[in-house]
Chains A and B, each alone.
Chain A
């Protein structure tokens, strides 16, 4: 009895205590820096003044320019301010990681969708916040050409058409009287429509955001905070925060999660400790293009070819979620739905391949996103160490100058007889037009180069319930498949250690069993 009590006191009770502590104590738990429910989204939706009462706007406007004149009549100085912005210039100053200055933007950057805007401005300026940009003669100094309405229309009736002009059907007087702060619809008018359709380019931007549920986007959830784009893309004096690394090279002026959520947003220390290696987006944006297809492939090789002398278009489903289109206009396109992101190391610095850069690789990377595992451990730029980011990858083939080894600007959009590719179906003419427009030489011979571009995913942040779970990365079926330099517990193992360890244990076990059998035999 006394012995039993001793055993209890010395062994059993202490073990129970120790293991209860281990099981129940959770030192990982930390308070959130704030309560999500307490975040107040400041309401800017109401304009300080009711514009319908203004005499200046009580006019039957014939053109957009007339409206702009009326706007600028009161909002003096705003025109000059706006004309410095990227929405107007389609260009900005940026820096490369080595400190070199660059000027780049939609205006001069090639992409691997429609290739480039120059020589196609009749069409592309549909999304320019201005009126009448058709060619290089456009006057960027004339404030009357600013399109105020595309951003400030609150009637949702305003539409732009070719050359950036208002659709003739739009009642400009009504729209002008009902102006307000930009809403989702204003931004979406252009930004949802990259490459001409919802989700087209980005894969995470579509009109679904205008009126979505929580599990589509927690921030823009119509029944929740219903945040507009400008809540994150904070705008001051017409300078809008936010960049896309297809036309930017540095980590400047960005809209970041930490601004609201801080850099330790979880209730778990362990989760918070991922901050230095993992971008918020990686866990919280787990899929894209769930509501509409996004392009992942555009091969121009067979564009402008005809079948039996006829313009053709064949659309085929490859899988329920992916479709391939072969046609005279585009060559070959593949668009897909319900995609899982790819993941890359990225330190917020990029290099954009420009029209005058030589092509030295295939596939040609249109926007090199710098970053690596090594840069996470010993970052070149300690303020921006590489983190794992989710991206959509766009691939394709597009024309390049065989002799000059540069990408080619193609004049795609235009009527028959203008030499545009989609008018005359003649590559040489279209290339000549395009190259002349960007002021680059063309050797006369072209081929097709494979290209790839990376599209960081930043939108459609989904609820925490559907974010990545530990096992999504920390397991043999890790979604971070390609990132092999980083060691991820649960995913990675050394084959030799694993095999050696198992063999050692099996042999030991067999040895012990064998020894025991011999011992018993010897005893009998």
Chain B
């Protein structure tokens, strides 16, 4: 089992605030509706109104965040694989088949989730807010002689409330279909999701690939004089959900036991992190800085890494190539490698990349 960082801090904060607020609004709302007695009508109205004002503030923050970060793209429905996902839930899941899609920082949602969350965030919630605000503003309008009928507004609000409750039930249930029943919920609490090794590898690899694309985008951008338009197009077509804010991603990625390295144009190691060192510990290489990348490799491996180096220095990004390394006591260890060019002032001055051990 491995753990991968999926949810950022603000994301976790708003998710739980939103959850509690919706449940609380449903509770007080349905008391106002006359479905049961709990706080007393008076208090229920007060609490519902307070929670509603709070929620509207939180929603403004959420939407602000979604648009600033570009995360909103993750909510745009896409048709690809939607059938696979449905099939999985009605068939595959019972046969122990793997999820047809993977959860990464960049594509957190499967196509069904996209559809559902799109409906939630961009249809139901705005409707609830709109009808709620009309409900709140009713008396002000009435006072100025601009009254309107509250009945249809209330009906829509109630329909929305029922749909939200339905959503909550399905949503909570589907969170149990992860690696372990509580994996997904834990992930939303801590930010780190547990997954199987294979899944984790795919996910981390995917994360790295995206991260590299993005950092490359940033590098090109900071160079300033190159036309980045076509690059952007490629990028957004490829990702359709890119996260442009990489704030603490690098750090988190490294905490997922990913080795990081940087090699200059001559093939000399410039930088490696501790995980890299750990992974290479048994090979007898304690400190590679200043040494050539072919150091201590078998003839066969040497060919492969030379091939890779040539490609990447030539401007390509490669991901998930499986490689091996020899320990001092003659064993062979395995890892996957992803690498992309290292730019400085628009010129490739080396390569950088990540390795993930796959042996344990």
Contact = CB atoms under 8 A, between A and B. Distances in A.
Interface in B115-174: 139, 142-143, 145, 147-151, 154-155, 158-159, 161-163, 165-166, 169-170, 173
Contact of B49 (A28, A489, A491): A28
A11 B158 CA distance: 29
Q: How large is the interface on B (under 10, 10 to 19, 20 to 34, 35 or more residues)?
A: 35 or more
Interface stretch (B10-18, B263-271, B288-296): B10-18
B145 A27 contact: no
Contacts of A508: 166, 169-170
B32 interface: yes
A521 B162 CA distance: 31
Interface in A121-166: none
Nearest to A521: B94
Contact of B93 (A276, A493, A494, A519): A519
Interface stretch (A2-10, A99-107, A310-318): A2-10
Given A28-B49, A501-B158, A505-B165, A516 B173 contact: yes
Given A28-B46, A470-B41, A512-B170, A276 B142 contact: yes
Interface string A25-50: 11110000000000000000000000
Q: How large is the interface on A (under 10, 10 to 19, 20 to 34, 35 or more residues)?
A: 35 or more
A518 B54 CA distance: 40
B155 A10 contact: no
A508 B24 CA distance: 20
Nearest to A498: B158
Contact of A493 (B54, B94, B150, B158): B158
Interface string A270-281: 100100110000
A519 B96 CA distance: 9
Nearest to B140: A273
Which secondary structure dominates where chain B touches chain A? helix
A521 B41 CA distance: 45
A15 interface: yes
Contacts of B46: 26, 28, 270
B51 interface: yes
Nearest to A509: B169
A262 interface: no
A385 B155 CA distance: 25
Interface in B26-58: 32-34, 40-42, 45-47, 49-51, 53-54
A26 B139 CA distance: 19
Contacts of B45: 270, 470
A500 B50 contact: no
A60 interface: no
Given A377-B142, A522-B96, A10 B12 contact: yes
Contacts of A497: 155, 158-159, 162
B249 to A, nearest CB: 16
A105 B149 CA distance: 38
A15 B173 CA distance: 23
A27 B50 contact: yes
Interface of A: 3, 6-7, 10-11, 14-15, 18-19, 21-23, 25-28, 270, 273, 276-277, 376-379, 382, 385, 469-471, 474-476, 487, 489-494, 497-498, 500-502, 504-505, 508-509, 512, 515-516, 518-519, 521-523
| A-B residue pairs, 5 tightest by C-beta | A501-B162, A273-B139, A487-B151, A522-B94, A377-B147
21 contacts: A11-B189, A14-B17, A22-B24, A26-B46, A270-B46, A277-B142, A376-B142, A379-B145, A382-B145, A385-B145, A469-B41, A489-B32, A490-B32, A493-B33, A493-B34, A497-B155, A497-B162, A500-B162, A504-B162, A512-B169, A518-B94
